[in-house]
Structure 1
Amino acid sequence: MTTYETIVIGAGMSGVTAARLLADAGRRVLVLEARDRIGGRMHTDRAAGFSVDLGASWIHGIDGSELWKLVQALDIPTREFTVGSFQAGGRAMSHFDGDGAPMAPAASAHWVADVATAEAALQRAIADSAPGESYLDVTERALDALEREQDALDPERIDEIREFFRHRVEEQCGAWIGDLDAHGLDEDAIDGDEVVFPRGYDEIPHRIADGLDVRLGQVVRRVIRSADGVRVETGADVFEAASAVVTVPLGVLKSDAIRFEPALPESAAGPIARLGMGVFNKIFLQFPARFWDESSYVLRALGEAGEHWHSWYDVSMISGLPTLLTFAAGPFGRHVQELDDAAVVADVVHALRRMYGAAVPDPSAHWITRWGQDPFSVGSYSHIATGSSHHDHDALADPIDGVLHFAGEATWGSEPATVGGAYASGVRAAERILGREVDLAAFADSVRASSTPV
């Protein structure tokens, strides 16, 4: 049996980053990946001759981003596509009212101003919230206050804003608004432009992993730790090392698919139990011709017209073909992933035809994700559920008995649910094992010199 210095479980962004940094430092490293591919929740479908990012798509804010520095060093092309934190406005949007009718510019501006007023009230409610309160609690308190004001918003507008806040939680966290802690969106800020990847986002983990000992199809069942190190058991093989880095998604940890012996201490088990794992699914529809305004990067329906399908993003710049991306998240996302493709496509098209009528043709192609049903992710990304806190993210990364480490987006409190957070957590895990800081510029040079662009 070959003994390694470190076994990394999971070949997503955090896993390959930690493994590559350790390997570059001269350590014997083995990466075990349950899937038949590298990348984890970074998954690009290139079968159609262009890239469709079924998992992560964006770098959310490039200012001060170490991930952005890596992308630049690797000369990976990007396109600016700044979405923001599910804003009411901010970029060119085509708004539709509750009946599906297009809103005039003045009506859209009024809507954006009303959301800004409600947002200010919501931030006050969050600041005054008690421990354990949900985002639903503070939202309702803020809207109740607006209804009592002298120049109160009318009830229909209050309901539209209520739906906007619910959709924001679904898109940002993949969760129902009542399951998110009142402070669950505190870190929801974008610094600088956002970018997408015409060649596909998973080029990054693939290039980092180039040259690593990565074993695909290795589903880890048990991790046994002792003072001497760790023993990792898969369905057919056993591996040993002085240390291990577990980078599987929070959903897998919550499912108890991996057995830890002895049981994880409360310092890790507590955060795993308290943090939430959301469901966020993508539906791409490609059309034979564009029927929407080319100047709008988002189509958004308010009120009843947008109860389920409410936002469509124009991602045509990736393939050069007319393509809209919409999302099904939270409880609705869990429902949608139980449907077959035909039913999902028909429902989305029905919603679009409520807005554009017969101008909407039948889609020529589609892509639909079902991350909540994926046994190797069991969800899309983490969030601060009621009863948890930002501290739980970082507490989960605390080393256990000096031999077991956790990494991944769920372990990075200042930027959870992002590729940037996953990257940073992989760096942190490697630094803790090495006992020193690493040079990320040298790391980028190493990856660039040894990897081939997609």
Structure 2
Amino acid sequence: MIPSSSVKVVVVGAGLAGLSAASTLMKAGFQHIQVLEAMSRPGGRVHTTRPFGQDVIELGANWIHGQEGNPLFQLAQEQGLLLEESGSAKTMCLPGSVTPRDYFFEESGRKLPMDQVDQVCAFFSKLTSRAFSSELDPKHSTQSLGGYLDQEFAQSLQATSKVGQRLFEWCKRSECTDEASSSLYEVSAVQLCHYVALEGGFFNSLGPGGYQALVDTLLDSLPPGTVLCDRPVRSIRWALEGESHAHPVSVLCQAGQCFTADHVIVTVPLGFLKENGAAMFEPALPTSKASAIERLGFGTVDKIYLRFEKRFWPDDCAGIQLVWDAGPEDEKVYQHSQSEGGAWRDTWYKKICGFDTVARHPTVLCGWITGREAQHMETLDERMVGEVCVRLLRSFTGWSVEEPAQVLMSKWWSEPFVRGSYTYPPPGVDAVREHNALAAPLPQPSDAGHSQEKPLQVLFAGEATHVSFYTTTHGAYITGIREAQRIIELYGDKKLDS
């Protein structure tokens, strides 16, 4: 056995997956670890900023998804990063979820009564819960989530009223935020049951350091110089043999710098792999892995932050939700809108479901937008987007709304090393098989035993490689530990707790 202290490991990507992998290996005694980050900052899809003063704004990851069994929640608790030490952190609503403090407005300016909103939203939640709980009728097994919802809603009492139909469409648009999709017709209904929601609710319970504090905790566990930023990787050559190759893997950066390794852990987002995976690896990725990259969905979710000089919404208002007059959209209508060209670009703003208040920022609202409309929004300047948002707020509410003092938008589609936000399962795709194929290392220890190649030369981590926790930060974190553990076990080290 080669001593773990002499093994060289390169980690591509300094998000939560890459940093947890590097930290786990360091703790196990591996001394030659290099993390290469393409962007100018570590964190990946965690991006904590302070554009409006001392308090943080999250352009990326926003929530800790559950407490029980969530290693990120436990890490935050151990490091004193939560607002409440007791662990009963303040529950925050996800975009699109409804509280009694949400104000729902129709296009006409009429504020909808909450009992009417609650009836439709509760019915929608009941339908989606069936999908996530594996309780769907077999007739829905091949349907999209949108198709299943449309069919069930059409048979309900809520479908008999125009307001009910409009609210149901609002629910569908808001669910797109959870699924990172342009439409729920792009999401499988039956495959959602593989996602596991941890107990304890959703929490925006991190203290003044925000999500960056968790990233910093992992960075602090690594020696100086371990993480190199502005190092985009051009290619990964593996299965190198012969006396001239002391190590079987070579990682070439775009600037020409080359790193050799016994093992490379690739933690780049699925969106980047979709765009670059075919040319990035030599030899090429096996068909099963290339197919998984192609078949899994990876969508865009963006935020629009509006800072006003003074608050114009009531103190008891936690969100201003926009209920459009347009009638129900079915799968055929959506597919037609795709094929007919760019007409939807003229009404991109209709994908904004509403504007939510922001913790610790009393004069800031946050709008959420997804899919192709989000990608189009990223091509517009912030001033124009701010003007559109103010026009919506004025026309729906009838309130006096001044121009925002600042507008800030996330642009995850435009980020060349990300190309989107997170993963979803499309219709007709066996998500478990594809997630597992994406996670499989190259070569497998059993394969290497026959070919004499060194096993585990290229390993894969990130939220898209987790069957049950895709889309989540804890999913990314866990997969980094998982791949580090493969290497640790290869050299006979004692298994660490994850």
* TM-score range relative to shorter protein: 0.7 to 0.9
SS at match of 1:313: strand
**Preserved CA contact (<8 Å) 1:244 1:405:** yes
Moved more, 12-21 or 42-51: 42-51
Aligned to 2:353: 310
Alignment of 1:290-439 (within 5 A): 290-304=311-325, 307-315=350-358, 317-319=359-361, 321-391=362-432, 392-401=434-443, 402-435=456-489, 437-439=495-497
Give the residue type in structure 1 aligned to 2:398.
Answer: G
Matched, 1:243 2:263: yes
Percent identity, aligned pairs only, is: 29
Alignment of 1:39-438 (within 5 A): 39-47=43-51, 48-78=53-83, 80-84=90-94, 86-87=96-97, 89-90=98-99, 92-115=101-124, 126-129=136-139, 132-146=142-156, 153-183=160-190, 185-186=192-193, 187=195, 189=197, 191-196=199-204, 197=206, 198-210=208-220, 211-212=222-223, 213-226=226-239, 229-235=248-254, 236-256=256-276, 259-304=280-325, 307-315=350-358, 317-319=359-361, 321-391=362-432, 392-401=434-443, 402-435=456-489, 437-438=495-496
Q: How many residues align?
A: 432
TM-score (norm 1): 0.87
Change (3 A) 1:390 1:290: same
Change (3 A) 1:121 1:184: closer
Matched, 1:38 2:45: no
Moved more, 4-13 or 254-263: 254-263
**Preserved CA contact (<8 Å) 2:353 2:369:** no
Cα deviation for residue 74 of structure 1 reads 1.1
Aligned to 2:22: 19
Change (3 A) 1:271 1:119: closer
Change (3 A) 1:69 1:15: same
Moved more, 7-16 or 43-52: 43-52
**Preserved CA contact (<8 Å) 1:125 1:141:** no
Cα deviation for residue 399 of structure 1 reads 1.3
Write the deviation string for residues 18-43 of structure 1: whole angstroms up to 9, x where unpaired.
01110121111110111111101101
Cα deviation for residue 327 of structure 1 reads 0.9
Q: Which runs of 5+ in 2 are unaligned?
A: 1-5, 84-88, 241-246, 327-348, 444-455
TM-score (norm 2): 0.80
Cα deviation for residue 134 of structure 1 reads 1.8
Aligned to 1:446: none
SS at match of 2:360: helix
Write the deviation string for residues 176-228 of structure 1: whole angstroms up to 9, x where unpaired.
22221223543374621322233221221222122341111111011111165
Please tell me the root mean square deviation across aligned C-alpha atoms, in Å.
Answer: 2.6
Partner Cα separation in structure 2 for residue 368 and residue 84 of structure 1: 18
Partner Cα separation in structure 2 for residue 100 and residue 389 of structure 1: 44
Cα deviation for residue 173 of structure 1 reads 2.0
Cα deviation for residue 166 of structure 1 reads 3.4
Give the residue type in structure 2 aligned to 1:75.
Answer: G
Partner Cα separation in structure 2 for residue 394 and residue 293 of structure 1: 48
Partner Cα separation in structure 2 for residue 324 and residue 164 of structure 1: 20
Cα deviation for residue 125 of structure 1 reads 8.9
Give the residue type in structure 1 aligned to 2:463.
Answer: E
Q: Which runs of 5+ in 1 are unaligned?
A: 441-454
Change (3 A) 1:152 1:35: closer
Moved more, 212-221 or 227-236: 227-236
Cα deviation for residue 121 of structure 1 reads 8.3
Cα deviation for residue 400 of structure 1 reads 1.2
Cα deviation for residue 129 of structure 1 reads 4.4
Cα deviation for residue 282 of structure 1 reads 0.6
Aligned to 1:449: none
